[in-house]
Every structure is written in structure tokens, then in C-alpha cells.
Amino acid sequence: MKDLSKSLKKIDVSTVILIFSILILVVIVAVPVLLIFLTAFFENGKFNIAGVVKVLSDPNTYNALLNSFIIAAGTTLLSTAVGTFFAWLVARTDLPFKNTMKALFLVPFMLPSFIGALAWKVLLSPRSGYLNKFIISIFNLEKAPIDIMSMGGIIVIESMYLLPFVFLQVEGALERMDPTLEESARISGASLFTITRKITLPLVMPSILAGALLVALYSLSHFGVPSILGTEKGIFTIPTKIYERIYASGGSFSAIRVGTILATILVISAALILKLQDVLLKKGQYQVIAGKSMRPVVLKLRGLKYPLLIISFIYIFITIILPTVTIFLVGGLKTYGLPFQLKYMTFDNYLKIFQWKMTKDAIWNSLYLSLSAALVTMLAGTMISYAIVKMNFKGKFILQFLGVLPYSLPGTVIALGVILTWSGRFGINLYNTAAIIFVAYIARYMAFAIKSSSASLSQVSDSLEEAARACGATHWQTLKDIVLPLIRPGMISAFFLIFLPALRELTTSVLLYGPTTRTIGVAIYTLNEDGETVKAAALAGIALIIIFVGETLIRKFLAKLEQRAVRVKEIENVAA
Amino acid sequence: MADLKLQQIKKAFGDHIVLDRFDLHIRSGECFTIIGPSGCGKTIILRLIAGFETPDAGEVFIGDTKVADAHHALAPEERKIGVVFQDYAVWPHKTVYGNVAYPLEIAGLTKSDIAKQVHNALALVNLDGYEMRFPYQLSGGQQQRVALARALVMRPEILLLDEPLTNLDANLREEMRFEIKEIQKATGATILYVTHDQEVAMALSDRLAIMDEAGRIHQIDTPEIIYTHPIDIFVFKFLGISNIISIKVSEHFASVKIKDKTVELPFVAPSSMEGKEGTLGFRPMDVQIERKGNSADFPAIATRVTILGPIVDYLFDFQGIPIRAQALTDDALAADLILEPGEKVFLSVHEPKWFNSEGVTQQ
Amino acid sequence: MSQLELREVTKRFGEVIAVNRLSLQVEKGECFTFLGPSGCGKTTTLRMIAGFEDLDEGELLVEDSLYSSSYRKFYVPPEKREFGMVFQAFAVWPHLTVKENVAFPLRIKRRPSNEIENRVKMALTSTNLMKFKDSYPGRLSGGEQQRIALARAIAINPKVMLLDEPLSNLDAKLREEMRFEIKALQNRFGFTVIYVTHDQAEAMALSDRMLVMNYGVVQQVGKPLDIYNKPANRFVFSFIGLSNFIPVMIKEGDAFIERTSQIASHNAPRELGPRAIMACRPSDITFVPISEIDDEKGSLGVQALVIRRTYLGDIVDLKVKVGSVDLRIQKNARSPCPREGESCRIRFNKVIWYPEEYPKESQDIMENQPKTNSSAS
């Protein structure tokens, strides 16, 4: 027995980690992506570009392409402009209630945008929208002033929910900026306006662009909002077109093939966007020297202070409060279309959510799928990042590439790839089972887990491991006693940051669900499609509560972990 | 107690050859320092001995045991060496006790033995009472001592220190270098210390090796001998501020070419340099300043006089050649030598060093 | 008319008084340094002069014009003060070239373009940066970036130049070089300079006059050599250089080293009472050569034991023990000194006497004028 454990000890840890990492990435990531390209470009084993061109020149498909790009462009411009403005307002002016504002501008992150789209459809659909009806009655108009079921509507709603990306990047950059850069401009005689224009803005531009590109990426990949607000009116984007084709044909292979062709366009665009972001960020990588913390230059708003505060509050009201309240109210209606009066309201729908099989199952499915996927992804991601960050071997860049690849793949594309891989081609058929969604989630969130673990791992300096080896510990012991305890907070953090998005996602599972494997997102969506708006809203309401409670609890828990992690960083700062 | 031997070591990273046919012998029980500019390869030598790197060619011996060659290498955990890293590498998730006890736990000692030895190690570095603290509660100097205690707790025969004092502030650096010396005397370990800071190196070492960027060792000897008898101009310049003058020797005297003139200096050159070109070097502290001159002096004008606390720093101009001199402030005050720029004085140099055209010291 | 004047300037952060009733006058062309440990208030004072912080109390005048006054509620913002400033972290704009960085303040002030051209050229030449004029700061080393900051401040020919620990982020060798460069620039252009640092060697090398500060209170103002020779209190003594503080008991003019019968000095001042502190530098203690020791008199020198001897190149550093007191001695390596473990006799060449209690920070420095002896025997 002792011999066995001794010889086990001799097995090179590095080799084991390497083999598993390669296996996982190949099976989960490489194969699906490869199959997509193969299916798109090869017909019956032969390279067939003509087929591709035929699909692309079909007005149906190229309209969808065009729409996707127009929406992405519009959303990017709108959310960047507004997001940057609000970030500047919070970080560089004397706006009151700053900390509250900062937190509130980030709340839209928590709201799944398709639920938001649902609420806005209820409010502003051209004929039956509650808000439209209200405005018509007040101003005595002939028809509804705002039609949310339009390209413009999609752009505005998407911007609302993607704005936090820009806000977060820009606000962070402004806070981190070395205040002496602005002070030295000030002592050189520049007014605050000149400083903002000539110094602050150029220095913060890389972050603005990074946020903008992220928005573009998400908008192209997004399913929920264009689907709820556009499909009825015949406005399609790439993800919704793929969905429509596959469901219209009952999953026929030619539909899937069309899907892969469209998916390829999506992947190429996403890759270009990420490459652009990389180039821009590297170019603008200015040294931010963390000096003593001094207050940055702050603009006194004077007369504009309260008007701007009011505008901010109105914005928050429109983005957060209005949709949320609407959802809860609609969920409490006895029948859709009735006015919001007490006699037409009931709590029943909310209770029934937990009794109806479909919704009950959906909640259960989402919970266990996201929990298990988060667990597996986190563990695999940690192992793979150890290989990437801490080990040296030939061909490391392949592992890095495969690890980051899924980040650029829209959920739709991953779903397609997973269908192609796991529908019996290699002997395993997971189609219509929960397992296929499970596998898709792992692929979808792997890149995130790797990025997050890599960040934690790179904070554990090599000398900490080497010191253990010098103390007599083997590589295994070092991993167990030194590395693992130090990255545990990062791992837990990554777990939750995968679990929550997975819980409420729609884009991926909408292509993979079977009769018994709906997720919460899919359930809300299909209820809405079937015209059961009240039930959809009620489920959405419950989902919002679960998400909100979950986020708050987890945030508190993570904050406690963060405190401990800060102490770890302090040591490294002292030593560095 | 063990000595350390590196024989004909070659180590390259890609195309960059850091060490080539490198030999080194460190005697048992001595405190040996390798000093050189960053990137010269001194840290690689330390890592080769510790086992974090393996040689491409050559052999590493600890005592009589061969621990590494190009084909086999003993893993670091098997070498029983204490290592102190530049960033201390104190584990943040363990207490001071936990850090120092770890090597003993790995070795499988009983709880009571561990407690005893940890206590001894902490006493050695003046940290008893701090067992239950976490590293984030300690200052840089205290963390450094935890790292030392951890390296010493297994009573290794060899202790490797990789620039451990660089990140400490000046006062603490001073204190700690004396402490390390005392610890070495108390434990009798063989110490290899690696640094670019020659002040620390001089204070600590029994013997010193000076290395250049190409990984070549110029001189190995005691600090005093290296300082007073540097083997070549690289060693001389590395160990401190110096005055360097290019000269030509004719008829025993050195002369300097300034623009088109040749000026003779009152320095007698060694006979081996007769008729040849070379370099003259001397330390600022070796310059003697007098208000009245004699034949052994040369006249110079003070261009800058700065009082740096206990030392006065002078810049003199001798016919266009800048000469840096230093004196203890109190000596200068006593001899009325706090000069004003423009004052004319006479300088002489105590035992200047002579270097031939290849930079080798001449006697 | 002084170039810059501070009158009873006070600054509070919550409960803490960061700068406590500071008054001083700086003359035109003077290089004036604020020296003290971190947190002593020197940077806060500089920022008040620059205008980034306002005075809670007091007034600031430049060339007799009021720049800030707490009484008259008057305050000139930084952009209107026409100062040049060099920051610790360089604060050089990474998205502008070296030339654009230096020209920036002149462009803001809308100077004519040929004037800008000339001034930039002058500033870049005097800081050796002409060859980098079209480069971006990110490509240059720390020392070169610091010179960009200097050039930028020089170009506007400022009324006062403010330097906030400009050399702290550079390595030791560069620091040495740069401090001579800064001094040379100041000599050449004749700027009034206000310099802040915690490094006493830097302060001594650069200043015409300096101010030593601790806990927001002025400890001493004067020329560097005067402060070095006659530190006003123990804090200044220990901050300015290596120090030995020897507790002594004074009886009729003889100072006995505490808990021994050894007399360190026969000239102890009577005004300090029975107990005092005798302060001296490591270079002020000498070894009495054996030929001079007269055992009968017993008054030449104090018996000591060498417990550590370290060779540092030009200097030898020794630690000796007298009774329970450890003393540090530094000697030129060429002069003879005893070995470790040897007994010897030491003599104190120059001491400064301080009262036993450490003076409270806010006490008037006039009360603590030191008594100086040039020789102890």
C-alpha cells in the first residue's frame, strides 16, 4: 500500500493536469466549433461555397444580417454616449448621493433584458400597450405615439440593459486615474473644462472603447430582446433567424446548416470585435501609478446640480422601477388587458407558478443545471488556468486560445455546435435531454471561469510555491497546502458569477430545450409566445425575486471573502 | 556542514546563454556573496543550487553528493536547503507559527517536537511572541524574519538568500544585515547570498565574488582585499563611486591628454605600464585636500561643494578634468575645508589604482 | 519683499492638525526645502501653496499679493497661480509627446507660437531632452520622465517652482545624479524653489535654507550646515543623521554615563539638571591611541568593548558597549581601529546636550536651544 502511494506521488502532477485540460477543452470547445465550420462549408463531404452564397443572398437571411449590424451599431452608440455621460457625472462632478447612484446605475445588470423587453412590450406595444393607452387618453391622440416593437425600440431597450457595461468600465477608469495628471494640468493653467477635454477624455478613451466593443459583442449575440420585440413584426436578427429556421423546420438538417452559416458570420464578427478591443487596449495601456489616494479634480455643477440629479433619477425610474413594477402588476392580473384596478388583481398566479408542472419544472431545471454547471466549470476552469498560468510547455498558446475562444462565441453558436456534436454523431445522443444544456453551459461559461481563475492564480506568486518546495513539500503537497487555500476565495467567487447568469439565461437554452427540460428563461419566453402574458409575467416576477435575493446574499458573502483577500493582497504589496 | 560546488555549468534560456563553463566553490561554513548587476545570472546560480532550475551541462554538488547534471536532478524538496526569497514568500493564509512549522510538518515530526523547534527558530530571529500573527499584521522587516526562521528551522547546512533586503527601507536594511551575520555565526550554516547592493555584500561576507553582465566572475576574495586590491577596472568601478582618468605613461609619470595639451600628473606609474596607455582610478575618499601645495600635489578649483550630512562631497576641476572628492564633515570643518565654488586648493591622491589598456590592475 | 510668505498657516483634517501655525518667508531665487518624515505635514503645506488645498487659517502671499486668506475668505485657484510644479509620480501626460507636454502650459496661456517654440527649445535643451522631443513618455525611463516634468515647469518661467518629493520614485544612483542636476538648473535660471522631501541627504545637497517639520510643527529653520551642527532638539538631531544618544547623570559639571562610573565629559552644562542626554554622531567618537592613555589620571577617554566591526569600503562601522549603552562609531577605513572583542578607550569630540524629557511637539523651539561643546574634555 505504501508502495502504491509512493508511486502515485511520483506521477507527475503537471502531466495529469495537462492531459485533463487538453481533453476537456477539445471535447467541450474545439469539436463543436469545428463542426460548425465544417457543416457550414462542406456539403456531402465536399467544400461547397456556392451553398453558402445561396443562403447569404436569400433576402430573408441577409435582412437578418443587416438588422443585426444596424441594431448593434445603434445600441453601441447610444449606450456608450449615455453610459460615458453618467460615468463622468458620478466620478468627476459633485453630484449628490454618488454612492447610491453608482449602485443604482449597475442594477440593470441584475435584470434579464428579455424580462425588461417583456415589460416594455406590455407598456408600449402599439395597440394594447398600457402606457400608450394612457397617453392616448390624456392627449386625445389617434394612435399610439410610441411603437416599441420596432428597430428603434429594440435599440433603446438593448441600450438600457447594456449601458452598465460602459458605465462600469469608464467609471472604474476615471476612479483609477492618477489624480496628479489632472492636477498638473490645473497648475499649468487649464480650466476644468479644458482638462476634461484634453487630458481626462483621451486618457479614458481606451476604457470607453473597451466598453463600447463589449456592448457591440453582446448586442450581436443577443436573443431575448429582438425576439420579443421584433419577431412578431418580422424583424429578425441572426440569433432569432436561426431559432426561427430550426423551429419552423422541426430541427431539419438543412435548417441547421443555414444556422451554421449564419453562426459563422457571427463568430467572425465577434472575433474581429475582440481583436479590435485587444489592439485598442494595448495601444492605450497607460501606466496607472497608484499613488497616495488623493481626491481627483471635481467639477462643481452649481446650477445644473439638481436638474442633472433629477434626470438621473428619471433614468433610473424608467430603466428599473417602471419595468419591474409593470411585471409584478401584470403577473397579478386575472386576465391580460384588464386595467390595473384592485378588483382585477390577485396573488393567485404567483402561487400557481409553484403548482403548475411546467413552471415548477422550469424553476427546478434552472436551479440544478446552473448549480452543477457552475461547479464543474469552476473546477475545470481552475485546472486549465493552472496549466496556462503556472506551467511551461510547448503549444501552450493552443490551450490559451481554446480557453478564451468560447468567450467570443454567442450562445446561439455554442448551442448549434453542441447540437452537432452531441446528437448521435459520435455515438452519444443528448438531444432534448438536460445533459445537452449542461454541456452547452460548460462551454458557454468556461472562458469566464478561466479568466477569473487566471486572475486569482497570477496573484499567487511563483515564489510562494517554490518556498514550499524548498521546505520539503512535493508538487502535490504544494498545490494542496499552498495554492488551493489561496485561490479558494477566487474559485468561490467564480462559482457564483457563473451560477447567477446561468440561472436566468435564455439565448442558449432556447435552442436546446425539450418538452421536459425547459429553463426559467425558456418558460417565460414560450409562455409569452403562446399568448399567456400574465403567466409569463408572474413567472418573470418570481424569477426577479429569486435573482434579487440570490444576488444580494451572494454579494454579501463575496464581500466578506473580499475582505480576507484584501489582506492577502496587502502582504503582496508590502513584499513587492 | 557542507560545501557547494558548481562545475562547468552551462545554462541558456532560448538563445541567451546566461552561464557558460561556470565554476564556483563555496567552502563549508562561510558566508559567500555573489554580487553583480541585474541580469548577470547570479540568481540563476542560486536557483540551480536550490533545484528550481536544472543545468544544460555541468554538475552541481552539495557536499559530496551530486544533486544535478544535465540528465538527472534531485527535486528541490529532496535537497534540504533553506531558501529566503526576494519577496519573502511568506504564506498569507498561515500564521507565523504555521509558516515556520510547515517544513517540520512535511518531515513528519511530532507536535511537541515541532513546537519546540519553531520556538527556537523564532527566538533566533527575535520574533518570539508573534506566533499567532498573520503576515498581513507584520511589517516588511518582520515578514523577512519569518522567512528566515522558516528557512532555518530544519537546521539546513546550506542557506540561500536571494536579495532578501532589497525591498526594505534603508534603516531596516542596515539592521537586518547585521542580524543575518549574527545568525550565521550562531548556526554555522554555509550561506550563499546574492545581491546587487555592494554595501550589504561588504558588510556580510567572508568572501565575495564579483560577476559581470556576461556571467563571468572577475574576482573572488575577502571584502577588504577586493576593495583595496581590485583585480581589474570592472571590480573597481562596481564597488563604489570612482574617479577614472585615461592616461599615458612616459618616464614613470602619468600624463593626461586634455584637448590638445598634455598635462603631467604627479603620480608615479608602475614600471609595467611604461610607455603604455591605461587608466588611473581612485576613490573620492582617497583624495586629500590641502590649502597649501607641495610637489606631490596638483592644483584644482572647486566647482561644487555639497554637504551631505556627515560627508562633504566636492567636485573639483583640474584643467578640464572633473574630480570627485569626499571627506568626513567634521574633518573638513576642523581643517577649514568647507570651500566655496571657485576656491583654489591642492589635491593629492592616496594610493591610486593603475589599470592597463585591458583594464587589469597593475602593481 | 519676499517672494513667498506664509503667515500662521494652519490645516486640519478632522481632529488632526496637519499643519500648525506655520509662518515663513522665502526669498527670491532661494532653494527652500521642507524636510520631515512621512505624515509630518510637508506635502500638505506644499499643496496649500499650490492651491490644491485651502488654508483653514492664515494667509499666503506671493510677491506681496494675497493668494489665499482665511480671514478675508479669499482664494486664488491653482490654474491662476502661475507656479511650476513637479510631482512625485512625474504626472507626465502619456498621450502627448515630450514636446507637447512641455508646450502645454504655454498653449493654455495662449502665448504666441514663436515664444512657445523658443521656450520649449530652451527647456528641452537644458534638461537634455531635445533628442526625445517627438517621443512619447511611455518609451522613456523614470529619470527621463522626471526631466520632462522639470522641463515643463521651467518653460513657463514660473514665479515659484514647487517640487513634491520628485526623486522618490527613482533608484539610488539616479537620485544622486538628479539632485545635482536640479541644483544646477536652479543655479542657472535663478528660480525660487520650494522642495519637499524626507531624504535628508537630498535636502542638505539642494537647499539654501531648510525647514525641519514633525507632526505639523516647525522644529527648526536654517541653513543646512547650521542645522547639522546645531540641531534644535533630539528629533532634528536623529533625523538629520546617524546618532548616538547617551543618557548621563550630571554632578558638578561631570557627566557620568548612566549606571557606570565613567565620565564622558567634564563640561556638562549645569542648567539641565541632574539627568540629561548627550548626543553625538558616529564620526564624532574617536579611539584614544594607546600611547596617550594615562591610567593614573583615568580621565582620558571612556572604557569600551568592541562588539562588532564591519568593513564598508571607505568606512569601518563599529558597535561598542559602555556599560549597558551601545554606541555606533564610524571611522575612515585607513585609520587604525581595534578589532572585535577588544577593549579600547573612546573620546567624544563633539557633543550636543539635550534635556532628558523629549520636548512636546508643540513647544516653542526657542525653549530648547541646545548647548554645544566643541570638545568634551
Name the nearest CA neighbour of C335 among C322, C354, C318: C318
Rounded to the nearest angstrom, the minimum Cα separation between C45 and chain A is 15
Please tell me which residue of chain A has the smallest CA distance to B99. Answer: A468
Largest Cα separation within chain C, whole Å, is: 84
Mean pLDDT for the stretch of residues C281-304: 74
Q: Which residue from B198, B306, B310 is facing C283, i.e. has the nearest CB?
A: B310
Q: Which of B167, B196, B328, B339 to mutate to test the interface with C (most CBs of C within 10 A)?
A: B328
Name the nearest CA neighbour of C28 among C211, C158, C183, C156: C158
Give residue A11's pLDDT.
67
Asked if the Cβ–Cβ distance from B310 to C282 is below 8 Å, we say yes
Confidence class of residue C299 from pLDDT cuts 50, 70 and 90? Answer: low
DSSP type of residue C369: P
Cβ contacts from A onto C, under 8 A? 65
Sign of CA dihedral A390, A395, A399, A401: positive
Sign of CA dihedral C48, C51, C56, C61: positive
Rounded to 10 degrees, the C-alpha dihedral A419/A424/A427/A430 comes to: 60
A117 vs A123: CA distance, rounded Å = 10
**A12 in contact with chain B, both atoms CB, cutoff 8 A:** no
C171 vs C173: CA distance, rounded Å = 6
Exposure of C214 in the CB half-sphere (CA atoms within 13 A):
17
Query: Chain B contacts of C178, Cβ < 8 Å?
Result: none
**B285 in contact with chain C, both atoms CB, cutoff 8 A:** yes
Grid coordinates representing B15 are 538563445
Mean pLDDT for the stretch of residues B124-132: 89
Give residue C311's pLDDT.
85
Give residue C300's pLDDT.
65
Across chain B, mean pLDDT equals 89
Starting at the edge strand found earlier in the chain, the sheet holding C275-280 runs: C263-265, C254-257, C244-251, C275-280, C351-355, C371-373
Asked if the Cβ–Cβ distance from C79 to A199 is below 8 Å, we say no
Rounded to the nearest angstrom, the minimum Cα separation between B351 and chain C is 11
pLDDT tens digit sequence for B1-14? 688 999 999 999 88
Q: Which residue from B227, B306, B333 is facing C313, i.e. has the nearest CB?
A: B227
Q: With contact defined as beta carbons under 8 Å apart, do A310 and A96 qualify?
A: no
A381 vs A446: CA distance, rounded Å = 6
State the DSSP string of B116-158: HHHHHHHHHTT-TT-TT--GGGS-HHHHHHHHHHHHHTT--SE
Residue A138 has pLDDT above 90, yes or no: no
Rounded to the nearest angstrom, the minimum Cα separation between C114 and chain B is 36
Across chain A, mean pLDDT equals 85
B106 vs A472: CA distance, rounded Å = 6
Residue C298 has pLDDT above 70, yes or no: no
Residues 6+ apart with CB under 8 A from C173: none
C222 vs C35: CA distance, rounded Å = 12
ipTM over 0.95: no
Grid coordinates representing C23 are 509662518
B203 vs B35: CA distance, rounded Å = 13
Confidence class of residue A575 from pLDDT cuts 50, 70 and 90? Answer: very low
Asked if the Cβ–Cβ distance from C313 to B198 is below 8 Å, we say yes
> Within the 307-326 window of chain C, which residues sit less than 8 Å (CB to CB) from chain B?
308, 310-315, 317
Q: With contact defined as beta carbons under 8 Å apart, do C280 and C375 qualify?
A: no
Sign of CA dihedral A572, A575, B4, B10: positive
DSSP type of residue A231: G
Asked if the Cβ–Cβ distance from C240 to B283 is below 8 Å, we say no
pTM higher than the cut 0.90 = no
> Within the 244-283 window of chain C, which residues sit less than 8 Å (CB to CB) from chain B?
281-283
Q: How far apart are the first and last CA of chain C?
A: 47
Confidence class of residue A483 from pLDDT cuts 50, 70 and 90? Answer: very high
Asked if the Cβ–Cβ distance from B87 to A473 is below 8 Å, we say no
C2 vs C28: CA distance, rounded Å = 6
Could you give the residue ranges of the DSSP H alpha helices within B153-275? 170-187, 198-204, 223-228, 233-238
What 3-state class would DSSP assign to A569?
A: helix
What 3-state class would DSSP assign to C19?
A: strand
What 3-state class would DSSP assign to A106?
A: helix
A444 vs A28: CA distance, rounded Å = 9
Confidence class of residue C297 from pLDDT cuts 50, 70 and 90? Answer: low
Which of A82-96, A134-148, A150-164 is the least confident region? A134-148
Residue A364 has pLDDT above 80, yes or no: yes
Asked if the Cβ–Cβ distance from B329 to C228 is below 8 Å, we say yes
Largest Cα separation within chain B, whole Å, is: 80
Asked if the Cβ–Cβ distance from A187 to C78 is below 8 Å, we say yes
The set of chains that have 3 or more CB pairs under 8 A with A is: B, C
Q: Which of B326, B330, B338, B353 to mutate to test the interface with C (most CBs of C within 10 A)?
A: B330
* Cell 577605513, located at residue: C333
Residue C369 has pLDDT above 80, yes or no: no
Grid coordinates representing B305 are 561643494
Asked if the Cβ–Cβ distance from C311 to B202 is below 8 Å, we say yes
Q: In whole angstroms, what separates CA B249 from the centre of its chain?
A: 33
Mean pLDDT for the stretch of residues A208-229: 90
DSSP type of residue B253: E
Angle (nearest 5°) at CA C255 between C254 and C260: 115
Give residue A2's pLDDT.
54
Q: How many CB atoms lie within 10 A of CB C338?
A: 18
Q: Which of B239, B307, B339 to mutate to test the interface with C (most CBs of C within 10 A)?
A: B307
Q: With contact defined as beta carbons under 8 Å apart, do C311 and B203 qualify?
A: yes
A196 vs B162: CA distance, rounded Å = 46
Residue A466 has pLDDT above 90, yes or no: yes
**C338 in contact with chain A, both atoms CB, cutoff 8 A:** no
Confidence class of residue A289 from pLDDT cuts 50, 70 and 90? Answer: very low
Q: How many CB atoms lie within 10 A of CB B204?
A: 23
Angle (nearest 5°) at CA C170 between C166 and C172: 115
Asked if the Cβ–Cβ distance from B309 to C334 is below 8 Å, we say no
Grid coordinates representing B233 are 577596472
**A190 in contact with chain C, both atoms CB, cutoff 8 A:** yes
Grid coordinates representing A574 are 508590502
Give residue A191's pLDDT.
85
Q: How many CB atoms lie within 10 A of CB B299?
A: 12
Q: H or E stretch including A363?
A: helix A357-390
Residue B105 has pLDDT above 90, yes or no: yes
* Cell 568634551, located at residue: C376
What type of residue sits at position A525?
Answer: Y
Strand C244-251 and strand C217-222: pairing?
A: unpaired
Give residue A406's pLDDT.
81
Grid coordinates representing C345 are 578607550
Give residue C236's pLDDT.
93
Query: Chain C contacts of A282, Cβ < 8 Å?
Result: none
Rounded to the nearest angstrom, the minimum Cα separation between A284 and chain C is 8
pLDDT tens digit sequence for A183-204? 889 888 888 888 888 888 888 8
Query: Chain C contacts of B224, Cβ < 8 Å?
Result: 311
Mean pLDDT for the stretch of residues C292-311: 74
**A180 in contact with chain C, both atoms CB, cutoff 8 A:** yes
Give residue C358's pLDDT.
63
Rounded to the nearest angstrom, the minimum Cα separation between A459 and chain B is 12
Give residue A1's pLDDT.
53
Residue B145 has pLDDT above 60, yes or no: yes
**C198 in contact with chain B, both atoms CB, cutoff 8 A:** no
**B240 in contact with chain C, both atoms CB, cutoff 8 A:** yes
Which of B50-64, B148-162, B175-189 is the least confident region? B175-189
Q: H or E stretch including A535?
A: helix A533-575
pLDDT > 90 fraction of chain A, expressed in percent and rounded: 28
Rounded to the nearest angstrom, the minimum Cα separation between C352 and chain B is 14
Query: Chain C contacts of A189, Cβ < 8 Å?
Result: 79-80, 82, 105, 108-109
